[in-house]
Every structure is written in C-alpha cells, then in structure tokens.
Amino acid sequence: MPVTLNWKNLGILGFGIGVAVAATLYVAVRAAAGGNASLWDRLVGVSVFLFPTHIFLLPLEKGDNLTTISLYFFLAFVANGLIYAAVAELAWGFYRIARTMFS
C-alpha cells in the first residue's frame, strides 16, 4: 500500500530528516576537526545552513556533566528537526496553493 503525502506524514518526514542531518553533520565535523582543516572549514560552512541550531551547542565546555551535554544535544537536534518539518509543511502548502490556482 503506497504512502500518500499529507500534512502529518510530511511533518514526521521533515522532522526525521532534520534530526538525521544534524546528527550526521555533527559526527562529520567532529571527525574532520582533528585532521584536514580545509574539509573542516567546508563542513562548518555547510552546517551553518543545514544545521542552524548548532549554536545551541556553543555553551558546552569540557567539564560539563553528561546530563547537561545530553540536554543541549537533544535541544539542538529536536529544534533542527522542527525547522525542517516547518519548511516541509510550508513548501507543501505553497505547492498545494499553486496547484489549485493553476489547475
């Protein structure tokens, strides 16, 4: 049975993609931090647009406990997922309006 796109499915899909992108970019930036400076610069430049909530991670320091670190990562990843879901919902809404107007 094919899955049709509706508001709920699109929001869940956008949220999942947003969280996955945030997690992937965080791992990639951390992996590149110790090696190639050029790759690290490019990844950080991309993450500004694809992971805009990375600024939530700025207050973290080396001595922070695991609960604080987990909270900040949770907030950053969930907020990124919510941004992706909102953009997906807006794009879907504009598509539906355009399809109605020009059909």
pTM: 0.83
CA distance 12 to 84: 10
**Rounded distance between C-alpha atoms, residue 69 and residue 66, angstroms:** 5
User: Which value, in Å, is the radius of gyration of the alpha carbons in the chain?
Assistant: 17
Return the amino acid letter for 98: A
Side-chain-facing half-sphere of 66: CA atoms under 13 Å: 0
For 19-65, the pLDDT digits (tens) are 999 999 988 888 888 787 888 888 888 988 999 998 888 888 888 99
In a domain, 1, yes or no: no
Domain extent, residue 91, equals 7-101
Of 92, 91, 82, the closest CA to residue 12 belongs to: 82
Residue 2 placed within a domain:
no
Residue 16 lies in a domain: yes
pLDDT tens digits, residue range 5-30? 777 888 899 999 999 999 999 888 88
Domains in the chain, number: 1
- Assign 3 a pLDDT band (cuts: 50, 70, 90): low
Cα 71 → chain centroid: 16
Residue 63 located in a structural domain: yes
Task: Report the amino acid identity of residue 97.
Answer: I
The two tokens of residue 64 are: 């922070």
Q: Is 51 exposed, middle or buried (0-12, 13-18, 19+ CB in 10 A)?
A: buried
